[in-house]
Amino acid sequence: MQKKKILILCPFPQDVAAGQRLKYEQYLDNWRNNGYEVVVSSFMDKKMWDIVYLQGNLVGKILGTILGYFRRLYDLFRISQFDIVYVFMWVTPLGSSFVERLTRRMSNYLIYDIEDNIMHKNPHSPGTNSIVNYLRGSGKILYLIKQADHVITSSPVLNNYCITVNQKKSCIYISSSVDTDNFIPSNNYNNDKKVVIGWTGTFSSKEYLDNLRDVLVKLNRICDFKLRVIGDFDYELPGVDLEVIRWTRENEVKDLQGIDIGIYPLIEDEWVSGKSGLKAIQYMAFGLPTVATNVGNTPSIIEHMENGWLVKSNEDWMYALDRLIKTPALRKKLGISARKKVLENYSKHVIQDQYLLILNRLE
């Protein structure tokens, strides 16, 4: 039997962006093993990815964007050769929905995978360019939600919205997931060394961490801890023992295994309501007690004081972190339960069949 062909149109190169890596990317081999031929076309190349969130580099960003549009032009000429077109986030980043409309018209079957509440611009993303925001219309996103044969969403709130928009009412929430064979706990849950509070993320989510600056400085006056920030940017926090690590795929597991407590600060707004809770899932996979803001999808992942700690105010943050730093037994209790929750609900072995069910609708 001839293999069915899938063309994936995505923003970022493979293996670099968490939103792609911990969603559909880790299932590509599974799709291939189940009779699909998969071709991936990212708008950005690796050179563009390396500078896109850095200050300056305007010429490089313009050239990278132009090259991305040439790639999409090439994709338009070959779309009809594929049985399924799988769009993650957007087809092109700027302008009207013209390219999306062409993509829909030429596609035999279109799946749209939407992460976060991207029909709303992220108000917390640092370095946001007002001109780029103006050019990046929401019409293309709404068009894809409406016209796709199937929509995959990142949270129940977002899924409920998409059901009201999609013409076929064919939408499903599929959680982000992790490779629990690779994300393995190594924590001893003791205070033989300085406790490490950890956060991982990108430049675009840095402001959430910034909201905890005062809390961490005050906490440092009463507790002895180290803060580990794993990301793609430099960071400073005077008065706190700080370790900044550049994220790499090769060292991701080792760097996260060196954390004792994971933190997931958020802000309550429409953008956050669509977030998948991925950071919490990552920390929990490593058996880490996770302290997270009680908003969005996070409460459906973390059960307060069962497998993590949900907080609202700065006072809540202070109390939770102080107690966890000083109580290894509590870290162990929450961490072991967290790992169990991920194994049962958010392992890629659990989630992979949900994707195949959607692909196999063509059968």
Q: What average pLDDT score do residues 246-250 get? A: 91
Q: What is the DSSP letter of 242?
A: E
Residue type, position 51, single letter:
I
Same domain, 62 and 206: no
Under 8 Å between Cβ of 327 and 303: no
Please check the confidence at residue 121 and state whether its pLDDT lies above 80: no
Sheet holding 261-264, edge to edge: 242-246, 225-231, 195-200, 261-264, 290-293, 309-311
Under 8 Å between Cβ of 8 and 18: no
The SS3 call for residue 95 is strand
> Is 182 inside a domain boundary?
no
Domain that holds residue 72: 4-177+348-362
pTM flag (> 0.75): yes
Question: What is the maximal distance between C-alpha atoms in the chain?
Answer: 67
Same domain, 38 and 141: yes
pLDDT in tens, 226-235: 999 999 889 9
Same domain, 38 and 143: yes
> Is 143 inside a domain boundary?
yes
> Within 10 Å of residue 245's Cβ, how many Cβ atoms?
17
Range in 7-21, 126-140, 330-344 with the lowest mean pLDDT: 126-140
Domain count, the chain: 2
pLDDT in tens, 236-245: 999 899 999 9
Please check the confidence at residue 297 and state whether its pLDDT lies above 70: yes
CATH code of the domain in which 228 resides: 3.40.50.2000
Tokens of 5: 């062909």
> Is 183 inside a domain boundary?
no
> Is 271 inside a domain boundary?
yes
Q: 29 φ, ψ to 5°?
A: -65, -40
Handedness of CA 205, 211, 216, 219 (dihedral sign): negative
How far apart CA 329 and CA 8 sit, in angstroms, is 46
Look at residue 129 in the predicted model and tell me its pLDDT. 45
Range in 35-39, 137-141, 332-336 with the lowest mean pLDDT: 137-141
Same domain, 36 and 173: yes
Please check the confidence at residue 209 and state whether its pLDDT lies above 80: yes
Q: What average pLDDT score do residues 60-70 get? A: 95
Q: What is the mean pLDDT of the chain?
A: 91
> Is 74 inside a domain boundary?
yes
Whole-number percent of the chain with pLDDT over 90: 76
> Is 286 inside a domain boundary?
yes
Please check the confidence at residue 272 and state whether its pLDDT lies above 90: no
Same domain, 161 and 200: no
How far apart CA 282 and CA 287 sit, in angstroms, is 9
Same domain, 226 and 281: yes
Same domain, 146 and 207: no
Please check the confidence at residue 128 and state whether its pLDDT lies above 70: no
Same domain, 243 and 340: yes
Look at residue 53 in the predicted model and tell me its pLDDT. 76
Please check the confidence at residue 148 and state whether its pLDDT lies above 50: yes
Q: What is the DSSP letter of 303?
A: P
Look at residue 120 in the predicted model and tell me its pLDDT. 52
CA angle 351, 357, 363 (to 5 degrees): 155
DSSP for 236-266 reads: --TTS-EEEEE--TTTHHHHHHT-SEEEE--
> Is 170 inside a domain boundary?
yes
Q: Which helix (H) or strand (E) holds 37?
A: strand 36-42
Same domain, 168 and 225: no
Same domain, 156 and 210: no
